[in-house]
Amino acid sequence: MLTLKQLETFVQVVELGTFERASQRLNATQSTVSKRISELEQATGLRLFDRSRRNARLTEEGERLLELAYSTLSDARRILELKARPEHMLHRVRIGFTELAALTWLPGFLRDYTTERPDIRLDITIEMSRTLYQQFQDGELDLVVIPQVPDAFAQPGVETQLLENVEMAFMAREGLVEESQPIPLSALERYPLISQGKSSGFAQDINRWLSHQGMSAATLTADNLLALVGLVTAGRGISVLPKRCVQRLAHDQGLEILETIPSLPSIGYHALYHGGVRIQLLEELAQRLAAAADFTRPFFLSERKAQTI
């Protein structure tokens, strides 16, 4: 059986050059040191030292083992330090966000939260909501911030926290839609509808709602939100977009909001996280996310410019 004592003895013999010096450092007999090295060679099937020489000279196999021995002993020390110094434990949380969060409040949250909680390391994934939800189900993410997924609320062991209801609106380039507002949805059928693809949770919710209202599916898709806004700005069609965020994002770009009958529903963005032994940590993080969430202001707009929009 391979043991840490064998690896420690091996490292000491290498560093001090002889079995005799290693036995003195380890406060053990020379025969004990020799026995540990023999047991290590038997456990690994490797010949570690060239015993034809007076000093303990490593073989090529011993050289390869030495690097792994250092790494293993270092990891073992860190494990033992967890109990001795619990205040220095680093909690790793794998967390996923959609593009809308990344464009708005996420950078500010990360800046503040990492300062407040240096004991927590957030591993961030930015993806489409359907992909994030699948990774969450597969156990690859601990917490995700995505539009409401009805299936998730029925799953045992999944906790949810509402962050914000995001107001949605039809938008188009000024002058593209000539009808007087508010516009019946049926009147918008003559304009190309641009939407995010099937991997977008909010696009799927909106498309489902539009289908119930009798509207046709989108004729053009763009998974990237900024690309979608660009297509609308270029006059290629109309789209359902996060109202206040895009208003600020597309300031001076000639976009207008189309008031419709009926008006569009808001989309609820939730934090989903797994229950279990870390539920308190994840619950506190979800509450902190809820306090920071503001899907209305692109992070790269200056405060003064945002206030004038």
Parts of the chain belonging to CATH 1.10.10.10: 4-86
pLDDT for 306: 45
Q: What is the dihedral of CA 194, 196, 202, 207, to 10 degrees?
A: 50
**8 A C-beta contact, residue 214 and residue 262:** no
Parts of the chain belonging to CATH 3.40.190.10: 91-165+267-307, 168-261
Cα 254 to Cα 17, 84, 235, 248, 283: the distances in Å are 78, 62, 10, 12, 42
CA–CA separation, 267 and 147 (whole Å) = 6
Reference 16, options 43, 40, 37, 41; nearest CA is 37
Confidence (pTM): 0.66
Q: Which helix (H) or strand (E) holds 258?
A: strand 255-258
CA–chain centroid gap for 95, Å, is 3
For 55-73, b/e burial (b = at least 16 CB within 10 A) is: ebebeeebeebbeebeebe
Helical ranges in the chain per DSSP H: 4-16, 19-26, 30-44, 60-84, 99-103, 106-116, 129-137, 150-153, 201-212, 225-233, 243-249, 279-292, 303-307
Vertex 109, ends 82 and 257: CA angle to 5°? 155
pLDDT by residue, tens only, the chain of 309 residues: 899 999 999 988 888 888 888 888 889 999 998 999 899 999 999 998 887 766 778 888 988 899 899 889 888 887 776 666 555 557 889 999 999 999 999 999 999 998 998 888 999 999 998 899 989 988 899 999 998 765 655 567 788 899 999 999 999 998 899 888 899 988 888 899 998 877 777 778 888 888 888 888 778 888 888 888 889 989 999 999 988 888 776 666 788 889 999 989 889 999 999 877 788 889 999 999 999 999 988 887 655 444 444
Length of the chain in terms of residues written? 309
Sort strands 183-184 and 260-261 into parallel, antiparallel or unpaired: parallel
Count other Cβ atoms within 10 Å, centred on residue 232: 24
Reference 148, options 208, 103, 237, 227; nearest CA is 208
Cis previous bond, 147, omega within 30: no
CA–CA separation, 286 and 271 (whole Å) = 6
pLDDT for 301: 66
CA–CA separation, 223 and 259 (whole Å) = 24
pLDDT for 166: 92
Q: Does domain 168-261 have CATH number 3.40.190.10?
A: yes
Q: Does domain 4-86 have CATH number 3.40.50.720?
A: no
The amino acid at residue 25 is: R
pLDDT for 223: 81
CATH number of 91-165+267-307: 3.40.718.10, 3.40.190.10, 3.90.1560.10, 3.30.930.10?
A: 3.40.190.10
For 125-158, b/e burial (b = at least 16 CB within 10 A) is: eebbbbbbbebbbeeebbbbbbbbbeebeeeeeb
Which tokens in the block code for residue 280? 């308190």
Cα 275 to Cα 160, 170, 281, 282: the distances in Å are 10, 38, 10, 8
